[in-house]
Amino acid sequence: MDYLVIARKYRPQTFGDVAGQEVVARTLTNAIRKGKVAHAYLFTGPRGVGKTSMARILAKALCCEQGPTTAPCGVCTHCTMIADSSHPDVLEVDAARFGHVGEIRELCDNAGFAPSLARVRIYLLDEVHMITKDGWNALLKVLEEPPRHLHFIFATTEVEKVLPTVLSRTQRFDFRGIALDEISANLKAIALKEGATLPPSVFPRIARAAGGGMRDAQTLLDQLIAVSDEGAADHDLDLLLGAARGDALAGLVGRLIEGATAPALESLEGLCAAGAAPAVILEQLVDHVRTMLLVQACGKDSLAVTRLGTWSEVLDAQARSCTPEKTMRMCQVLIGSQQALRQGVDPRLQLELACVRLATLGSVQDLDGLLRRIERIEENPGGSRPR
């Protein structure tokens, strides 16, 4: 019952531990070193990329017994209490629950009180896009002229919903999605520490499924370790993701390229019967055809292909069997099907429609080549028919 999930167990504890956010870390450490820490920061970016972790590390840096310091000790009373979210001078507020004007006014009323333990007080407000307009209006005065001992750290995944008057009063940092190789390296290191036996192929797949978020990747790794007895396999990850197995997916793509509509739909039926989710299959098809297009354009050894981690001999052969024009058209059909899913179309129906369209594409002609043929016909209307 004392088990701590991987995402919490391996949460970053120093600025350098936050993967993929080197610019933000360097800016904050320089500000601390030069004594130019702003009174309000806004951290924005996708979920699971280190916004809250960076905010807590900044709070530790300002409150640590050895601080202000760029390398908080992590063992003093202040650091341990901040890590446990129990420090009386570091208030963490979930704005999704406490973003109404009443709660914000109470927060502002307490802003003038001096810190009880640390040298400063820090308000860490998460999901601030959920704060109401009246709530922001109640906070603006304190945000513009805060007490010397008070610092605000805001975090949000939807910065476009934050009022411009708030943006102008904060220093904004945009957190980027973490590169796949950085996530893969982090997962490998964690698996080694946990004593988990995992095939190397699962780490890039987990990283891609997480969409650039370290926390989501670590959660998937935790599930994969839990679902496996002795050692995890790719099949276990397929089950967790609701995904089609690589060889089965490649077989489906092969039938689509050949124009075999009925066999392709039979393959699709088998994938769904095995537990693969239609929306996930559609996403896998997009990734597969995308890799084919990149192989055609850049070659299998290019960085654009290797960073995806989805290349195989079968995929390479399929890329050679298609023209770039047909591959591009396949991508367009699949992306259009993904967009239709957002409008509430049944995923299974949309996937079947996409497969039928792909299987009936036939030979897609190069548009530039067709235009050149039309130009030749117009230039020589009475001559022989061009081949």
158 phi and psi angles, rounded to 5 deg: -130, 75
Note whether 29 and 119 are same-domain residues.
yes
pLDDT(332) > 80: yes
**Partner residues linked to 121 by β-bridges:** 150
Note whether 332 and 288 are same-domain residues.
yes
pLDDT(186) > 90: yes
Note whether 149 and 208 are same-domain residues.
no
DSSP state, residue 366: P
User: Could you tell me if residue 230 is inside a domain?
Assistant: yes
Residue 372: which pLDDT band, with cuts at 50, 70 and 90?
confident
Note whether 208 and 150 are same-domain residues.
no
User: Could you tell me if residue 1 is inside a domain?
Assistant: no
User: Could you tell me if residue 22 is inside a domain?
Assistant: yes
User: Could you tell me if residue 21 is inside a domain?
Assistant: yes
Note whether 255 and 234 are same-domain residues.
no
User: Could you tell me if residue 125 is inside a domain?
Assistant: yes
Note whether 129 and 64 are same-domain residues.
yes
pLDDT of residue 230: 60
Name the pTM for this structure.
Answer: 0.76
Question: What is the CA angle 121-125-131, rounded to 5?
Answer: 130
User: Could you tell me if residue 379 is inside a domain?
Assistant: no
Note whether 287 and 163 are same-domain residues.
no
What does the pLDDT average to over 185-204?
89
Q: Are 108 and 47 in contact (CB under 8 A)?
A: no
What pLDDT, in 10s, does the model give residues 99-114?
Answer: 788 888 888 888 888 8
Q: Which of 57, 46, 76 is nearest to 17 (CA)?
A: 57
Note whether 62 and 210 are same-domain residues.
no
pLDDT(362) > 60: yes
pLDDT(236) > 90: no
Note whether 129 and 164 are same-domain residues.
yes
Looking up tokens 């988990």 gives 196
Radius of gyration of the chain (CA): 27
Note whether 23 and 160 are same-domain residues.
yes
What pLDDT, in 10s, does the model give residues 300-312?
Answer: 888 878 777 677 8
pLDDT(160) > 60: yes
The domain of 168 spans 6-174
Of the candidate ranges 12-21, 32-41, 102-111, 254-263, the one whose mean pLDDT is the lowest: 102-111
Domain count, the chain: 3
User: Could you tell me if residue 166 is inside a domain?
Assistant: yes
